Amino acid sequence: MTSFMIDEAVNKRTPLKWTSYDTCPFCNIIANKLPAFRVLETDMVIAFLDILPIRPGHTLVVPKMHCSNLSDLPSDYSRAVGEALSTIANAITRGMTINLNVVCNQGYGQAVPHVHFHMVPAPRTVEPPSTQSPTNRSMNHHEMVMSEYHRREELDEDTGRNMADRIRSRL
Ligand code: AMP
Ligand code: ZN
């Protein structure tokens, strides 16, 4: 995520589903107390779809240990997270798109204080600059990223289930 997206993240709205839980939402998902569209699970890591996806397929990879900062994560969990990131990246690139962003916020821009990596597939098509006219032009890269950020909407049941199935089927 580029710096302007991190700036936006600092003031982002809180999804309704988080506010009713006093404790960490990701620990609640790990404990099966909160639903999630699960993509992958091992004894040390869980991956599920982000409830407010930046783009379709936006997945969170989370160690099964409550730890706020990546810099404090024990190395066995780091290894397990790294392996999950690479497995899911492979599934996304084979099933959806070869371009993706992987980011982990620590403190700055971090809303959920439990280590997590965002894996965000890139948009499938971007209109080439040659087709743009001053009056009816495509958005430039910066505008496109910003508009995607503001368009984030809560994931619905059918879309979430289908997308999680799609990624899981390629693991
Ligand atoms: P960050 O700002 O890096 O802490 O990102 C936290 C992410 O967690 C946001 O993108 C949220 O949409 C996502 N999120 C929060 N609660 C849930 C939940 N219950 N299920 C799935 N994603 C969630
Ligand atoms: Zn937690």
Q: What is the CATH number of the domain that holds 30?
A: 3.30.428.10
- Looking at the fold, whether 39 and 58 belong to one and the same domain comes out as yes
**Number of domains the chain contains:** 2
Choice among 7-16, 20-29, 49-58, 99-108 with the minimum mean pLDDT: 7-16
Instruction: Give the ligand with the smallest distance to the CA of 68.
Output: 2
pLDDT attached to residue 135: 46
Taking the complete model, does pTM exceed 0.85, yes or no?
no
> Which segments within the chain are labelled E, that is strand?
38-41, 45-49, 59-63, 100-103, 117-121
CA of residue 53 to ligand 1 center, whole Å:
9
pLDDT value for 22? 60
Residue 16: band (very low, low, confident or very high) from pLDDT cuts 50, 70, 90: very low
Q: Is the pLDDT of residue 89 over 90?
A: yes
Residues 31 and 112 in one domain: yes
Whole-number average pLDDT of the chain: 83
Query: Same domain, yes or no, for 71 and 148?
Result: no
Which of 6, 11, 18 should be mutated for ligand 1, with most atoms under 8 A from CB? 18
Task: Give the residue numbers spanning the domain of 101.
Answer: 3-124
Q: What is the residue whose two structure tokens read 């492979």?
A: 90
Is any ligand 1 atom within 6 A of the Cβ of residue 110?
A: yes
Candidates 10, 27, 51, 66: which one to mutate for ligand 1, based on the most atoms within 8 Å of Cβ? 51
Are residues 45 and 113 both part of a single domain? yes
